[in-house]
Each structure stands twice: as structure tokens, then as C-alpha cells.
Amino acid sequence: MGSFPASGAVCRGRKRENAIMEFKDRRQPPDSWIPWLDQWVADMRFRNLSERSIGYYWYKITDLARLTNKPPWQIDQTDLKSYIVRPPSNAARRSTMNAVRNFFGWAKKAGLRADNPAEDLPSIKRETRHKVPAPETAVGQGLHDADRQTRLMVMLAAEAGLRRAEIAIVRREDVTEDLSGRSLIVHGKGAKDRIVPLTDELADAILASPKGWLFPHVSGKGPVCGDTVYRRIQHATGCSPHTLRHRFATAAYISSGGDIRAVQELLGHESLATTQAYVTVTPLNLRSVVNSVREYGEGMNVGQVVSTGGKTMPATE
């Protein structure tokens, strides 16, 4: 850490042309932030964070820099609280909090700041309420969109359960084949890959695309970002990509006869509790389960009387 100047003084005079400038194809932060962000990105890569996480964290801190219009050494906890509450959902606020804590925790350890303004920020509770999956009418509308790439994005979310960031980085070469059929190698959170079986229709649609990124950026430099996937799916269906993922989870759970572990594997969740929050169980599903219990008892020839302290009474009373 000895290569870093003392808090506040670091790199304040460093000019944009001397900076590495990570993510050059994106909107850049004010000059005073670039040296800090360059070094932070290098540190995250050294710690083997996934490129998707690094890109997202960089985007959030760059957004903070532009909104506050302050240099990084002047940001205080009030600035952070005002920024963290901007996203509409708890999940988005938690992600923003993670980016803020990572950056300012690193800045203090690196000697760029004497303090960490994110250190004592209160935690944001994880939402436990069940999300409503996208309705079938919305899915059908998206599958009939005039744009082929948008239709493919909708299929990957609704029929394979991919996250928007996972959809953005799918390549034609990610389709594999074995004795049971064709599958997709999904590059998920935390640099963790998983295998998701594909329907013939979805596999054919992917393989009909040119080699390389399924959704290349207009600049020709890499794929589109997850935000682009979000906007296109939202415009085509009226629903967010995440609600299509919930639709997939619910359909997979019901059609598998309630195999929650299989759904967990398909979604790429580490926690079974997270998967359970994705599955929507309707009153009709619950009634079907209760009726199945009665049918199970009848099929097992359950006795017609129940013993109660030497007396007998009908089992149905």
C-alpha cells in the first residue's frame, strides 16, 4: 500500500490523458474519479471478481460521481444515503449498497481516504414477499415481437430463466449437445457457470444466429449491456425480465411436480430460500395439493375407523 499517497492528496492533479480509463465505451466519470476507479477496478480483478460484477460496480460509482459532482475524497455519508435510496426496489438498493461499500472500503484500505463513509451505513433488509410472475399474455406478446433479437431475449428469460445480464452475454458457441438433447452454458453470477436444457425451438433460434455474441453491441465492441436487454424486453412485453424469470420458475416448479431443487439448479441460486421466493403458488395449486392428499389416502386404503381411547369413530368425522 506504500505506493498510494496520503488521504485526500492522492492523484488529485492527475489528468484524464494519463489515466487507464476503464470501460472507455461508456460514459466516463469526472476527471477526479478516474485514477481512483482505475486502481479499484485493477484491485477487483486481482481479487477475481467477475467482469459482470466489476462492470456493474464501476457503473454505480460512476453514476454516484456524476450525480454528486464532488471529488471522491469529499463524499460523505449523507451523499451515500441520498444515492442509495434512489433505486425503486430493495433489491436494487442492496446492489447499490454493495457497490458503495466495496469502493469506499477499498479506498480506505488503499490509503486514499482516512475514513470510510460507507462503514456505518444501516443494512437494507432483503425483500421476502413473493414476486408476481409475468402473465402468459405478456410472454406471448413478446414472442411475437417484430424484432428477432427481442423475441430471442424474451425466450431466454421466459423459457430458460436467464437473468438480463446472463442474456446479454450469451454466445452461439454456448450451446452444447449430449445424448439427452441440447443445452446452454449460462455464465452466471460470481463467474459460476451452469447448464440449462433448451427446448428445440430455443436451441434452433440460437444456432440460427451468427457465431459470437448473440446480441452484439452496435459499436462492435463486445455484447450489449443488461440494461439494453431490460429495455427491449420491457418494451416488448410490458414486464421486466425478472418477472419473466419468475414465470419460468413457477412453470418449472409446477410442471416438475414441485421439485424445488431442480428449479434451484436451473435458476443458479445458491440458497434454496431464494428459489422459494421465485415460485408463485396459486390457490388453485394449493387446492389441487389438498385434493391429492385425500386421493392418496383413498389409494392407500386408509382404515375407516380411528381408535380414540377405547372408543371408535368414523375416520372422516
Q: Which of 93, 163, 164, 232 is catalytic?
A: 163
Q: How far apart are the first and last CA of the chain?
A: 76
Which is it for strands 193-197 and 305-308: parallel, antiparallel or unpaired? unpaired
Residue pair 195/188 in contact (Cβ under 8 Å)? The answer is no
Q: Is 144 annotated as catalytic?
A: no
Q: Is 148 annotated as catalytic?
A: no
Q: Which of 164, 232, 245, 247 is catalytic?
A: 245
Q: Which of 14, 151, 189, 231 is catalytic?
A: 189
Q: Is 245 annotated as catalytic?
A: yes
3-class secondary-structure state, position 109: helix
The three cell numbers locating residue 209: 444466429
Question: Where are the alpha helices (H) located in the chain, listed in sequence order?
Answer: 34-46, 51-68, 77-84, 90-109, 136-143, 148-158, 164-168, 200-207, 226-237, 241-255, 260-267, 272-278, 283-299
Phi first, then psi, for residue 20 (nearest 5°) are: -70, -35
Q: Is 311 annotated as catalytic?
A: no
Q: Is 57 annotated as catalytic?
A: no
Please identify every residue annotated as catalytic: 163, 189, 242, 245, 269, 278
